[in-house]
Amino acid sequence: MPHNILMPALSPTMTEGKLSKWLKKEGDKVKAGQVIAEIETDKATMEVEAVDEGTLGKILVPAGTEGVKVNALIAVLLEEGESVSDIKITASTPHPNLLPQGEKEQVRASKLPLPSAGEGRGEGGKRLLASPLAKRLAKEKGIDLSRVQGSGPHGRVVKADLSNVIPSPQPSPGGRGGSGGIDAKVLADAYQMPYTAIPNSMVRKVIARRLLESKQTVPHYYLTIHCDIDKLMQVRKEVNEGAQGYKLSVNDFIIKAAAMAQVKVPAANVAWTEDAVLQYSRADISVAVATPNGLITPIIKDAASKSLKDISIEMKDLAARAKDGKLKPQEFQGGTMSVSNLGMFGVAEFTAIINPPQCCILAVGAGEQRAVVKNGQLGVATMMTATASFDHRAVDGAVGAEYLAAFKKLIEETPVALLL
The Cα 392–Cα 395 span in angstroms is 5
Does some domain include residue 195?
Answer: no
Higher pLDDT, 327 or 370: 370
CATH code, 366: 3.30.559.10
pLDDT recorded at residue 87? 77
Which of 190, 212, 244 marks a domain boundary?
Answer: 190
pLDDT recorded at residue 414? 84
Does some domain include residue 197?
Answer: no
Q: What is the pLDDT of residues 239-282, one digit of tens each?
A: 999 888 899 999 999 999 999 999 999 999 999 999 999 999 99
Q: Identify whether residues 388 and 274 lie together within a single domain.
A: yes
Structural domains in the chain (count): 3
Does some domain include residue 138?
Answer: yes
pLDDT at 291 over 90: no
pLDDT recorded at residue 12? 67
Answer whether 18's CB lies under 8 Å from 68's CB. yes
Indicate the helix (H) or strand (E) that contains 185.
helix 184-190
- Cis peptide bond N-terminal to 357, omega within 30: yes
Which of 110, 130, 147 marks a domain boundary?
Answer: 110
Q: What is the pLDDT of residues 75-128, one digit of tens each?
A: 998 888 787 777 766 444 344 444 444 444 343 333 333 333 334 445 444 557
Least confident of 131-135, 232-236, 265-269: 131-135
Indicate the helix (H) or strand (E) that contains 369.
strand 360-374
Pairing mode, strands 285-287 and 360-374: unpaired
Helices (H) and strands (E) in the chain, counts: 9, 20
Q: Identify whether residues 342 and 401 lie together within a single domain.
A: yes
Domain that holds residue 141: 119-190
Does some domain include residue 92?
Answer: yes
Answer whether 317's CB lies under 8 Å from 331's CB. no
DSSP 95-126: PGGGS-HHHHHHHHHHTSPPPPTTEEE-GGG-
Q: What is the pLDDT of residues 45-62, one digit of tens each?
A: 778 888 888 899 889 999
Query: Is the pTM here over 0.85, yes or no?
Result: no
Q: Identify whether residues 152 and 127 lie together within a single domain.
A: yes
Percent over 70 (pLDDT), the chain: 85
Least confident of 42-46, 256-260, 391-395: 42-46
Does some domain include residue 70?
Answer: yes
Q: Identify whether residues 158 and 215 lie together within a single domain.
A: no
Answer whether 121's CB lies under 8 Å from 88's CB. no
Does some domain include residue 128?
Answer: yes
Q: Residues 238-258, buried b or exposed e (16+ Cβ, 10 A)?
A: ebeeeeeebebbbbbbbbbbb
Catalytic positions, please? 392
pLDDT at 164 over 50: yes
pLDDT at 25 over 50: yes
Q: Identify whether residues 180 and 251 lie together within a single domain.
A: no
Percent over 90 (pLDDT), the chain: 47
Q: Give which of 237, 328, 344 is closest to 14, Cα–Cα.
A: 328
Indicate the helix (H) or strand (E) that contains 136.
helix 132-141
pLDDT at 163 over 80: no
Q: Identify whether residues 391 and 298 lie together within a single domain.
A: yes
Does some domain include residue 199?
Answer: no
Q: Identify whether residues 141 and 22 lie together within a single domain.
A: no
CATH code, 164: 4.10.320.10
Q: Identify whether residues 24 and 137 lie together within a single domain.
A: no
Does some domain include residue 76?
Answer: yes
Amino acid 391 reads D
Indicate the helix (H) or strand (E) that contains 188.
helix 184-190
pLDDT recorded at residue 104? 42
The Cα 44–Cα 61 span in angstroms is 20
The Cα 11–Cα 334 span in angstroms is 12
Q: Identify whether residues 221 and 279 lie together within a single domain.
A: yes
Q: Identify whether residues 226 and 295 lie together within a single domain.
A: yes
CATH code, 96: 2.40.50.100
Backbone angles phi, psi at 193, to 5 degrees: -90, 120
pLDDT at 349 over 80: yes
Q: What's the average model confidence in pLDDT over 5-11?
A: 82
pLDDT recorded at residue 393? 96
Which of 155, 190, 225 marks a domain boundary?
Answer: 190
The Cα 99–Cα 106 span in angstroms is 10
Looking at every residue in the chain, the average pLDDT score rounds to 84
Q: What is the largest CA-CA distance in the chain?
A: 89
Q: Identify whether residues 232 and 178 lie together within a single domain.
A: no
Sign of CA dihedral 40, 41, 47, 53: negative
Q: Identify whether residues 142 and 262 lie together within a single domain.
A: no
Beta bridge partners of 210: none
pLDDT recorded at residue 89? 61
Amino acid 352 reads A
pLDDT at 400 over 90: yes
Q: Give which of 78, 98, 99, 88 is closest to 28, Cα–Cα.
A: 78
pLDDT at 307 over 50: yes
Indicate the helix (H) or strand (E) that contains 187.
helix 184-190
The Cα 400–Cα 408 span in angstroms is 12
The pLDDT confidence band at residue 166, using thresholds 50, 70 and 90, is low
Give the neighbor-by-neighbor strand order of the sheet with 35-40.
Answer: 45-49, 35-40, 16-22, 65-69
Backbone angles phi, psi at 272, to 5 degrees: -95, 135
Answer whether 98's CB lies under 8 Å from 68's CB. yes
The Cα 373–Cα 381 span in angstroms is 9
Strand, helix or coil for residue 302: coil
